[in-house]
Amino acid sequence: MAENLLRFTSIDQQQPPKRPAAERRQDFGEIGQHWVLAKAEEQSSRCSQCGVPFCQVHCPLGNHIPDWLRLTAEGRMEEAYEMAASTSTMPEICGRICPQDRLCEGNCVIEGSGHGSVTIGAVEKHIGDTAFEMGWVPPLVPVADRSAQSVGIVGAGPAGLTAAEYLRGQGYDVHVYDRHDRPGGLLVYGIPGFKLEKPVVARRTDRIAEGGVHFHLGVEIGRDMSTHELRRRHDALFLAPGVYAAKALDFETRLGGVVPALDYLIAATRKGFGEPVLAFDNGALNAHAKNVVVIGGGDTAMDCLRTAVRQGAASVTCLYRRDRANMPGSAREVGHAEEEGVRFEWLAAPVSFEGSASVTGVVARRMRLGSNDASGRRGASAVAGSEFHVPATLVIQSLGFDAEDIRADWGLDELETTRWGTIRTDHPTLMTSIPGVFAGGDIVRGASLVVWAVRDGREAARAMHGYLRERVGMGVTARAEPVPA
């Protein structure tokens, strides 16, 4: 059906319509409206089906993007979902939160020709949502019974959930341990509903649980359970706890009203679930009527800025030490924030906070860009005598995250880590220095993208399956003790 493709010269690029900024500032619902099928087919038909699909090359999962775009353009939506799900455990989630402008869409061939990329993320989201609505998402059914062997997974974020799904699909007895009271990790507690509504995550985690994966929630490894016990219970482990230690500023920050980004986002999410949140109710983690300053330029900073807007902040300002072109966050998210009333102070870095007991303002300094640094972006240096004042009664630090001290906290002296505190693994297998213990996601990569975590979960599951099959061949077929459900 060639007439359904190569239409990028006659059909303009269109993203799904967004709700008006004045409306979406009032709630935490997703900002994009749903496409009708005809629009998804039309936009998919713009794909050039190029010989070297750079969109696929630049997708960490290697998604067969031209194939499911072609199937969508031809109206074969169920087949399109099967194709998308063949490489990804959560296409409708990645379609919502992947920075497509930096990955697949940013490398689309027709984008380079000046016609505007195919709206890959929006189509991927539409495919996944349609599959759930139409009942095309099959239950998780093991292909064999390998329940004599057990796998323990630490972390119910995207890496852990992906590994759990694949390993349960192979028939293993899979147990997932997580510090939070809901599975999903930062998909639930680190990404606000206006980007990813929580029922979208819940239907995925419900499917995994219904498929026989056991979730042990509210369990802190090293506090509630030792790694010695985990290793005694399970034939193999996958460590995917994420990275939660907030990076700090290089000056004193003991004033009240200066809070870490993740604490702020978790409080907002829990409040959205209708839970009592003392730190929100007493105002410590509530932006209502406050002058809010967010320090940082990544996607988490954008989430904080836009959350503060929805909480009714008096003003919301972002301080970022580089310019717009050199920021790490998604350009689309910056645009959404600007539409919603956020003010950006580019080339500005804090040097001190004002206030006695609680913060009343931020003293910032103008910066200038120099040559590229180790990150590939241009470095920034201070401009002498350029200090200025920004009013602030709530300052949210969003400078990124470091790994917690896994070796000390979990009592794993034999675990090799890098100088950044992340876990060192064998690249092809993701096995750590401890036989039978694998790791992936942010605890290996450092703070990264959800799509990379999904990839690590997928690749680790494959390696773990091979490792467990090898143990069967050696005659090692059962764990030391049964695992409580």
Collect all residues with Cβ–Cβ distance below 8 Å to 391 and sequence separation of at least 6: 291, 315, 360, 361
- The one-letter code for the residue type at 211 is G
Looking at residue 478, what is its pLDDT? 58
- The C-alpha torsion from 286 through 288 and 293 to 294, rounded to 10°, is 50
Q: Is the dihedral of CA 347, 351, 354, 356 positive or negative?
A: positive
* CA–CA gap between residue 48 and residue 77 (Å, rounded): 19
Measured distance CA(73)–CA(444) in Å, rounded: 38
Please tell me the predicted confidence (pLDDT) of residue 479. 59
Distance, CA of 223 to CA of 205 (rounded, Å)? 25
Task: Among 233-237, 311-315, 376-380, 448-452, name the one with the lowest average pLDDT.
Answer: 376-380
Per-residue pLDDT of 354-366, as tens digits, reads 999 999 999 999 9
Please state, rounded to an integer, the average pLDDT across all residues of the chain.
94
More confident residue, 39 or 461: 461
| Residue 51: band (very low, low, confident or very high) from pLDDT cuts 50, 70, 90 | confident
Model confidence pLDDT, tens digit, residues 102-143: 899 999 999 888 889 999 999 999 999 999 999 999 999 999
**Out of 16-30, 160-174, 438-452, 467-481, least confident range:** 467-481
- Domains with residue ranges and CATH for the chain: 2-134 (1.10.1060.10), 146-243+403-473 (3.50.50.60), 251-398 (3.50.50.60)
Q: 389 forms bridges with which residues in the sheet?
A: 363
Q: Are 131 and 80 in contact (CB under 8 A)?
A: no
- Provide the 3-class DSSP secondary structure of residue 216: strand
Q: What does the pLDDT look like over 260-308, one tens digit per residue?
A: 999 999 999 999 999 999 999 999 999 999 999 999 999 999 999 999 9
Q: Is the pLDDT of residue 442 over 60?
A: yes
Exposed (0-12), middle (13-18) or buried (19+): which is 114, by Cβ within 10 Å? exposed
Measure CA 50 to chain center: 29
pTM score, whole prediction: 0.94
| pLDDT, tens only, 245-264 | 999 898 878 899 999 999 99
Rounded to whole angstroms, how far apart are CA atoms 74 and 82? 15
The amino acid sitting at 382 is: A
Task: Render pLDDT for 369-412 as a digit per residue (tens, 0 to 9).
Answer: 998 877 677 889 999 999 999 999 999 999 999 999 999 999 99
pLDDT of residue 484: 59
* DSSP assignment of 145-211: -EEEEEEEEE--SHHHHHHHHHHHHTTEEEEEEESSSSTTTHHHHTS-TTTS-HHHHHHHHHHHHHT
Type of residue numbered 109: V
Q: Residue 407 — left, alpha, or beta (φ > 0 → left; ψ -120 to 50 → alpha)?
A: alpha
pLDDT for residue 111: 86
Give the pLDDT score at 36. 77
**pLDDT tier, 1 (very low <50, low <70, confident <90, very high otherwise):** very low
Identify whether the C-beta of residue 157 lies closer than 8 Å to the C-beta of residue 208. no
At residue 133, the pLDDT reads 97
The answer to whether the CB of 261 falls within 8 A of the CB of 304 is yes
pLDDT over 70 (residue 236): yes
Cα dihedral 103, 109, 115, 116 in deg (nearest 10): -10
> The tokens of 197 are what?
């509504």
33 pLDDT band (50/70/90 cuts)?
confident
309 sits in which H/E element: helix 299-310
Longest dimension (CA), the chain: 72
Distance between CA 60 and CA 170 in Å, rounded?
A: 23
How far is residue 159 from each of residues 54, 91, 108, 221, 344, measured CA to CA in Å? 25, 14, 27, 17, 33
Amino acid at 373: D
In the numeric block, which tokens belong to residue 216?
């042990």
CA distance 294 to 344: 10
Q: Which of 140, 154, 299, 296 is nearest to 219 (CA)?
A: 154
